[in-house]
């Protein structure tokens, strides 16, 4: 999974049932699922499931609480309503709902089928606390778009996760499906009906489907056929406009990975959000074995959208390595309703995110300076989280606080752990081995169907490598000692230097120092957790301050736009009066605007670099 912080502010200012089947016992009959996308009723979709014949008096039906890759409890059962269990005569059986995701059905021997309505998650994301992350969520927009993350639509009966599934989807005539789910061609199938099959429940939810008007492109990356499906509500983007960057990027990824993966098909399901209150607002993507669902704002300009796609899709595609190919038993035998977490988020998300950056420099998509900037940004972003929290402990307990609120650090410090490990491995192996080598070795040893034992992985890695690697893991990954990145960077002749950089008054390049609070009348506040420029610092502003007025003009989103425009004309002597709300207090900040500068830390080459450092750096960056 990859969560993307899209600075919202910036985006606006810049732009039926056969009785014969019932004779088969549940273990033998496929789970027959029908999804009706034609008769959408009050924004809800009717799903019915026909299992075989049960021998028990009571059976439980589940909708997942958690799905792999999300590391959060989302309770997809909350979106179901009108749950009915019917016997062979069409009479309702007694159903007892015991939690958000569990329905116990009595008199199960006479159960013929169940049916329920599903609400989508995109509609309510902005209203509920702990909303489902959009790339794992569902969308129901009659006659126009359906994002079928199937864990939101299809459940499983207790003990029957391993039986095959047959999904019959009735769809509006203008829409087509993009999915990695196996489609079955059946003669005499009713018009506008798609039939999909899966060998087991996991396969159902590992293969989301997007239904849209046709807007797809397919291209070949060596032996992988990649299909990009785009839903762009205002017709801003087509798959053909976005194809080239994706093709270039994935070709580079394949070159970086070499022989590591085995998929022959990959589908990118891109959903572009209008960003209206009733639309998706969690930007980023979720990985699957042979596809990914990506959600981004449609209002993003093309170059930024393409760059976001490069960063996000490359991350998801690298998940083929881990956890998809290298994972522990916790993930292989994932319990959707009582999940056990693995210790190794440093690898599942950290290595993946690190690869999504290092491949770009190794394959020449970005230069050294850009790569250093990205690693520096991660160092700075990581400061917002607990640096003295054991990464393995956090991972194991990620569904609970205080670990949960540190989750996003898997993309920051998680990647940096891998950077340090990569440098360490290069140093110990005279430049020959790095984290990619390690992942290749692990994937040879394990692979898609062979999990490792969670508490043995690190021992395994140490046995394959060097004693220094044991110290590294014990100290910085299992242990809670923060990593001195400077120490590792020095091995490759790099150092961190603070420099002064000019910025705008309200913007640092494209990135604003302020943000908008939509839930409080579009009020404007100074962003927290970032380095402020000298303009805000010298005035005495602090992160979190709500800007009430500037030069007696009261401030909201509308009012600040022209002021940002005017600020480009300000000179250092321009006087400003800003009233801010800090907690209960209203504070007046006054003074000259000055020349805004920002103290930034950058990674730069050392002045005197030894040939050894030089060589190691080359081995690290050029592979």
CB of 356 to Zn ion, least distance (A): 9
Rounded to a whole number of angstroms, the CA Rg of the chain reads 26
DSSP state letter for 108: G
Minimum CB distance to Zn ion smaller for 349 or for 412: 349
Contacts of 469 (CB under 8 A, 6+ apart): 421, 424, 425, 428, 461, 462
Minimum CB distance to Zn ion smaller for 246 or for 415: 415
Q: Does 326 bind Zn ion (CB under 5 A)?
A: no
Minimum CB distance to Zn ion smaller for 2 or for 245: 2
- Distance between CA atoms of residues 544 and 330, nearest Å: 40
Minimum CB distance to Zn ion smaller for 30 or for 414: 414
Tokens coding 258: 């070499």
Minimum CB distance to Zn ion smaller for 148 or for 410: 410
> Using CA of residue 309, residue 314, residue 315, residue 320, what is the dihedral sign?
positive
Spacing of C-alpha 540 from chain mean position: 37
Of residues 182, 410, 449, the one with CA closest to residue 290: 182
What residue ranges in 1-137 does DSSP mark as E strands? 2-3, 31-41, 44-50, 58-62, 80-87, 95-99, 102-106, 111-119
124 contacts 155 by C-beta, under 8 angstroms: no
Of residues 570, 577, 562, the one with CA closest to residue 594: 570
CB of 246 to Zn ion, least distance (A): 18
- Distance between CA atoms of residues 95 and 102, nearest Å: 10
Closest residue to Zn ion: CB criterion: 1
Lookup result for tokens 């200012």 = 13
CB of 285 to Zn ion, least distance (A): 8
| Piece in contact with Zn ion (CB under 5 A), picked from 267-275, 341-349, 532-540, 550-558 | 341-349
Footprint (CB under 5 A) of Zn ion, residues 87-116:
none
Contacts of 578 (CB under 8 A, 6+ apart): 539, 541, 547, 549, 550, 588, 589, 590
Count of residues near Zn ion by CB under 5 A: 3
Minimum CB distance to Zn ion smaller for 1 or for 305: 1
| Piece in contact with Zn ion (CB under 5 A), picked from 162-170, 222-230, 240-248, 348-356 | 348-356
| Piece in contact with Zn ion (CB under 5 A), picked from 2-10, 396-404, 539-547, 585-593 | 2-10
Q: Does 132 bind Zn ion (CB under 5 A)?
A: no
Q: Does 312 bind Zn ion (CB under 5 A)?
A: no
| Piece in contact with Zn ion (CB under 5 A), picked from 6-14, 142-150, 203-211, 343-351 | 343-351
Q: Does 458 bind Zn ion (CB under 5 A)?
A: no
CB of 349 to Zn ion, least distance (A): 5
Among 1, 169, 294, 394, binds Zn ion (CB under 5 A): 1
CB of 284 to Zn ion, least distance (A): 9
196 contacts 205 by C-beta, under 8 angstroms: no
Interface positions with Zn ion (CB under 5 A): 1-2, 349
């Amino acid at each position: 999974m990859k969560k993307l912080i899209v600075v919202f502010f910036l985006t606006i200012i810049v732009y039926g049932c056969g009785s014969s089947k019932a004779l088969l016992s549940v273990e033998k009959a496929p789970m027959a699922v029908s999804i009706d996308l034609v008769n959408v009723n009050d924004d809800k979709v009717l799903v019915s499931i026909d299992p075989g014949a049960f021998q028990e008096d009571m059976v439980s039906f589940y909708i997942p609480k958690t799905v792999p890759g999300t590391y959060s409890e989302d309770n997809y059962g909350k979106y179901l309503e009108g749950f009915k269990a019917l016997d062979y005569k069409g009479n309702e059986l007694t159903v007892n709902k015991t939690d958000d995701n569990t329905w116990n059905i009595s008199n199960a021997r006479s159960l013929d089928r169940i049916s329920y309505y599903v609400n989508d998650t995109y509609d309510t994301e902005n209203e509920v606390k702990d909303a489902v992350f959009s790339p794992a969520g569902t969308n129901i927009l009659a006659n126009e778009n359906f994002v079928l993350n199937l864990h939101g639509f299809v459940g499983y009966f207790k003990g029957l996760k391993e039986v095959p599934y047959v999904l019959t989807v009735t769809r509006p005539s203008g829409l087509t499906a993009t999915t990695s789910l196996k489609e079955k061609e059946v003669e005499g199938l009713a018009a506008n009906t798609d039939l999909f099959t899966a060998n087991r429940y996991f396969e159902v939810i590992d293969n989301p489907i997007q239904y849209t008007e046709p807007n797809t492109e397919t291209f070949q990356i060596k032996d992988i056929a990649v299909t990009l499906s785009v839903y762009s509500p205002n017709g801003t983007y087509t798959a053909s406009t976005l194809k080239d960057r994706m093709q270039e990027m994935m070709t580079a990824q394949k070159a970086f990975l070499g022989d590591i993966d085995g998929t022959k098909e990959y589908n990118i399901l891109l959903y572009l959000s209008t960003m209206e209150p009733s639309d998706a607002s969690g930007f980023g993507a979720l990985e699957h074995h042979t596809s990914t669902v990506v959600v981004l704002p449609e209002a993003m300009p093309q170059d930024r959208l393409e760059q976001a796609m490069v960063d996000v899709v490359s991350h998801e595609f690298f998940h083929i390595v881990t956890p998809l190919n290298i994972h522990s038993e916790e993930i292989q035998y994932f319990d959707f309703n009582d999940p056990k977490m693995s210790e190794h988020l440093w690898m599942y998300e950290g290595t993946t995110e690190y690869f999504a950056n290092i491949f770009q420099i190794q394959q020449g998509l970005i230069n050294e300076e850009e790569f250093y900037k990205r690693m520096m940004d991660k160092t700075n972003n990581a400061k917002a989280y607990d640096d003295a929290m054991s990464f393995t402990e956090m991972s194991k307990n990620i569904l609970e606080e205080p670990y949960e609120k540190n989750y996003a650090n898997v993309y920051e410090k998680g990647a940096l752990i891998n950077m340090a490990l990569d440098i360490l491995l290069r140093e110990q192996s005279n430049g020959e081995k790095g984290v990619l080598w390690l992942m290749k070795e692990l994937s040879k040893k394990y692979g898609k169907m062979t999990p490792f034992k969670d508490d043995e992985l690190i021992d395994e890695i140490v046995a394959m490598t060097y004693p220094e690697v044991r110290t590294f893991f014990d100290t910085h990954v299992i242990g809670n000692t923060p990593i001195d990145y400077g120490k590792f960077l020095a091995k490759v002749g790099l150092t961190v230097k603070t420099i002064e950089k000019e910025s705008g008054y309200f913007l640092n390049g494209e990135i604003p120092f302020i943000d908008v609070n939509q839930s409080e009348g579009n009020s404007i506040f100074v962003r927290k957790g970032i380095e402020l420029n000298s303009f805000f610092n010298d005035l005495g502003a602090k992160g979190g301050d709500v800007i009430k007025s500037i030069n007696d003009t009261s401030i909201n989103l509308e009012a600040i736009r022209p002021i940002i425009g005017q600020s480009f004309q300000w000179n250092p002597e321009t006087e400003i009066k800003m009233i801010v709300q800090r907690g209960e207090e209203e504070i007046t900040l006054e003074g000259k605007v000055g020349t805004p500068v920002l103290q930034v830390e950058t990674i730069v080459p050392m002045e005197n670099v030894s040939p050894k450092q030089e060589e190691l750096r080359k081995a690290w960056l050029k592979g």
